[in-house]
Amino acid sequence: MNVPVLAPLTPAARRVLDAASELFYERGIHAVGVDTIAEAAGVTKKTLYDRFGSKEALVVAYLQHRDAQWRDLLDKYLTRVPEPGPDRVLAVFDAAISWSDENGAKGCSAINARAEIGDGHDGHPVFPEIARQKVWLLDLFTEILRDANDVDPATMAKRMMLLYEGAIVTVGMETYPHPFDVARDMARSLLTAPAR
């Protein structure tokens, strides 16, 4: 479904990517230098550049890596609810609750990355990646809803997307606790409500 498969990594490259993922997510992309990443990974800067080519490319790999982990978790939750229906939509929110509990204290890495790149996102390789991730999820919602015989899957998917994005941001902003529970509740109401 149009997701990039990252090339197999050498052991040192793995450590670089893991270190970069943690540091970029927790401190922000611009705030973390390549020396810091190399040191945290127990690797020389030369190795980092030999494997990834540039910091920008490493940032893209970081975003792909985190998204791949999220999709893996999501798959687990979706295969547990195989029959088409509203419960499959709710499974996305259940996965998001689990994900944000363990890996999401600062919100969505794609949204956070967006904040750090200019709005002239021409030629910047980060924007296509994060745009792709968001469209992928919107499309997933649409498919699940179509399979569930929703009367207007495209519109309902936009609504689900809004709830999802609102919740993940609220996690990062700490506006109030457990926003995904609220989002899940709203989704359930929308999906089980009689047609108005």
Partner DNA sequence: CCTTGACTATACAGGTCTGTATACTTGACT
Partner DNA sequence: AGTCAAGTATACAGACCTGTATAGTCAAGG
> Of these partners, DNA, a second copy, none, which one is at the site of residue 12 (CB under 5 to 8 Å by kind)?
DNA
Q: Locate tokens 């745009």: which residue?
A: 131
Which of DNA, a second copy, none interacts with 113 (beta carbon under 5 to 8 A by kind)? a second copy
| Residue closer to DNA (CB basis): 46 or 196 | 46
Residues 157-186 that bind DNA (CB under 7 A): none
Instruction: Report d(CA 45, CA 29) in Å as an integer.
Output: 17
Residue 132, Cβ neighbours under 10 Å: how many? 16
Q: Which is nearer to DNA, 54 or 155 (CB)?
A: 54
Closest distance to a second copy from the beta carbon of 50 (Å): 26
Angle at Cα 31 formed by Cα 168 and Cα 170, nearest 5°? 15
Residue count of the chain: 196
In this chain, which of 3, 26, 33, 101 binds DNA, going by CB under 7 A? 33
Residues 50-69 that bind DNA (CB under 7 A): 50-51, 54-56
Q: Applying CB under 8 A, which of residues 42, 116, 149, 152 lies at the interface with a second copy? A: 116
Pick from DNA, a second copy, none: which does 56 bind, CB < 5 to 8 A by kind? DNA
Q: Kindly indicate which of the ranges 8-16, 44-52, 75-83, 110-118 contains the residues binding a second copy, using the contact rule CB under 8 A.
A: 110-118
Select the binding partner of residue 142 from a second copy, DNA, none (C-beta < 5 to 8 A, by kind).
none
Point out which residues bind DNA (CB under 7 A): 10-13, 32-36, 42-47, 49-51, 54-56
